[in-house]
Structure 1
Amino acid sequence: MPELPEMETYKVLLEQIIGGQMITGVVINREKSINVPIEEFTRKVLHQKIESIERRAKYVIFRLQNGFCLLLHLMLGGWMYYGTKEEQPDRSIQVQLSFQDHHLYFIGLRLGYLHLHTPEMIWRKLQHLGPEPLDPNFSLDAFFSIFQNRRGGLKTTLMNQEVLSGIGSRYSDEILWHCQLHPKRRINELEPSGLVRLYGSIQSILQLAMQHGGYMDPLYRDDHKTGGYQMFVHGVEGKNCSRCGNMIVKADKMYFCQQCQL
């Protein structure tokens, strides 16, 4: 599932290629991928200029000229591709937004969706989310105020979107490997120095992943920005840890090094 680095990469690239452009065509192949009847969706989206594109947690928000918004969550297996009809991926496409002779294809939205909302509905839907971990205002003090009284496991807490937004299973594993903490370790067992390391690793791993465009496939044919991040631990069980050389293992859907994560 794409997480903060992937959705931020998508947001930046989409701003560059479709920001300010008018939607000239709408195709809905799977009505369950939207939240209103196809006719209403098309009427409110067609011929609207994309005023801005934002990201919040794992969501991307397309703000339209008429005041409505499209809220995208790719969930598990969802992705996007932008190109001409000739470049269309050989995959089942649930939603297509056209921009003259180029199209933004939404693919794999079995659980994901592209919903039409008012700004007020967006605010209500996202108000439960915790702070953005890379927000300049999310200081070490702010982190301590959230984490120092919690008692849950490290991985499950990092993935809790009401605690911090945008981190999922993949980057929680990467973060905990980076700060050398076991994913099942409980927060209340950590010394303040451990929390400091955890905060630093959240910043370092997410920024590193964003610098390399996350792990997702490219957004368009000549996209050299996306998909350059190489995982240290997630999904690489059986390989040697790049820090200590011990084997990476997987247990209870958690990837970690048994030797250097304590």
Structure 2
Amino acid sequence: MAEVPEVEIIVRDLRQAVVGRRFTEVEVLAPAAVRFPSPPDFIAELRGRSVIAASRRAKFILLSLADGKTLAIHFMLWGDLKLRPLGSERPPATLVVFCLEGGEELQLTDTLGYARVAVGRASELAARLKLEELGPEALDDTFTPEVLARQLRRRGSPLKTVLLNQRVLAGLGNRDADESLWHAGLDPRRLASSLTTEEVARLHRAIRHVLEEGLSLRGTQKDLFGIQGQAKHRRNVFGRTGAPCPRCTTPVSHLRIGGRNTHWCASCQPTEGAPAEPPAQSSLL
């Protein structure tokens, strides 16, 4: 599952291997993967254009083109992007192929078929993809405990639901939200507006720790070049229902909150009261 660390790794790889190169051809194998414009126009907009920059907004990969337009790619749940020699075998799940000068191609694949692409002016992408409505980026230097406190202050919904609201915090996914709350010792069912200043500071440190750890290990998936990242998809609590908590051995709890699978330790993440002791491998609390 591609979350912010996985997407950020791909963006960094694209800066290294694709920026400065030109699209020689584009093949749309699954027309539904192109949000806009129409597939023929999408191909025409990219053919012959050079990539001049690669960036990320939440989980959107944004490739700036020499003509002032931008190619947006979103992996959704299980999308993937690989750089391969031109003419390589295309997996059955291949949606779009971007051929590059120099004898290589980018293959966008998704076993579920949900990954999407679009191209347009920055203003069009911002409006149609709702980029302008996204909250602050958790990896930006401007994301401070004060910013997080302001985002949570007026939210009367459970913490887990609020953290996954892209208008509150851009790009934090289900896995990393669960892990952040575990590191911070906060129950995911707590109301976001109920956090104290100290609890917000703990949560801020935990979010940054989880994301930066994922980046340092190059994510959980294979990168642009096919090299497997070293981060574990199932970490301390995420996806470990019934397994012992690494901190206290209490079985990990599971519940659907806001329609999303949620995992936490009922002992280390109390609804109220003093925070739990930090785990041996973390100094976040």
Does the CA contact (< 8 Å) of 2:109 and 2:115 recur in 1? no
Give the corresponding residue for 2:80: 79
How far apart, CA to CA, are the structure 2 residues paired with 1:185 and 1:154?
6
Structure 1 counterpart of 2:121 = 118
Structure 1 unmatched runs, 5+: none
1:218 shift after superposition: 3.1
Q: Which position in structure 2 is the counterpart of 1:61?
A: 62
Task: Name whichever of 85-94 and 106-115 sits farther off.
Answer: 85-94
Query: Shift of residue 87 of structure 1?
Result: 5.4
Q: Which amino acid aligns with 2:71?
A: L
- Read off the aligned partner of 2:25 and give its amino acid letter: G
2:151 counterpart of 1:146: yes
- The answer to which of 35-44 and 78-87 deviates more is 78-87
2:163 matches 1:161: no
Tell me how far 1:111 sits from its aligned partner. Answer: 2.1
Query: Sequence identity of aligned pairs in percent?
Result: 27
| Structure 1: distance between partners of 2:218 and 2:176 | 13
Question: Per-residue deviation at 1:240?
Answer: 2.0
Conserved 8 A contact 2:138-2:207: yes
Please say which of residues 168-177 and 84-93 is displaced more in the overlay.
84-93
Deviation track 1:40-87 (CA, whole Å, cap 9, x = no partner) reads 112110111101111001101011111121111111221111112575
Alignment of 1:9-158 (within 5 A): 9-34=9-34, 35-84=36-85, 88=89, 90-99=91-100, 100-108=102-110, 110-124=113-127, 125-158=130-163
The whole-number CA distance in structure 1 between the counterparts of 2:83 and 2:242 is 36
Please give the TM-score of this superposition, normalised by the length of structure 1.
Answer: 0.92
Structure-2 residue corresponding to 1:202:
207
Q: CA offset at residue 174 of structure 1? A: 0.8
Count of aligned pairs between the two proteins: 259
- Give the aligned residue type for 1:3: E
Distance 1:44 1:142 in 2: 38
Q: What is the CA distance between 1:112 and its match in structure 2?
A: 2.1
Please identify, of 103-112 and 14-23, the stretch whose mean Cα deviation from structure 2 is larger.
103-112
- Alpha-carbon distance between aligned partners in 1 of 2:40 and 2:223, rounded to the nearest angstrom: 31
Distance in structure 2 (CA, Å) of the matches to 1:145 and 1:186:
14
CA apart distance, 1:89: 5.6
Deviation at 1:119, TM superposition (A): 1.4
CA RMSD after TM alignment:
1.7
Residue 237 in structure 1 maps to residue 241 in structure 2:
yes
SS in 1 for 2:23: coil
SS at 2:157 equivalent: coil
Letter in 2 for 1:156: T
In the TM superposition, residue 189 of structure 1 has moved relative to its aligned partner by 2.8
C-alpha change, 1:75 and 1:117, in structure 2 (3 Å) is same
Shift of 1:150: 2.2
1:242, CA displacement in angstroms? 1.5
SS at 2:198 equivalent: helix
The secondary structure found in structure 2 opposite 1:24 is strand
Q: Post-superposition shift, 1:3?
A: 1.9
**1:215 aligned to which of 203, 220, 227:** 220
Residue 261 (structure 1) aligned with residue 280 (structure 2): no
Q: Which moved more, 1:198-207 or 1:241-250?
A: 241-250
TM-score (norm 2): 0.85
Structure 1 outlier segments of 4+, above 3 Å: 85-91
- In the alignment, structure 2 segments of 5+ residues that lack a partner are 271-285
- Which position in structure 2 is the counterpart of 1:247? 251
Distance 1:89 1:182, change over 3 A: farther
Higher mean C-alpha displacement, 173-182 vs 143-152: 143-152
Q: Does the residue aligned with 1:181 lie in a helix, a strand or coil? A: coil
1:175 aligned onto 2:177: no
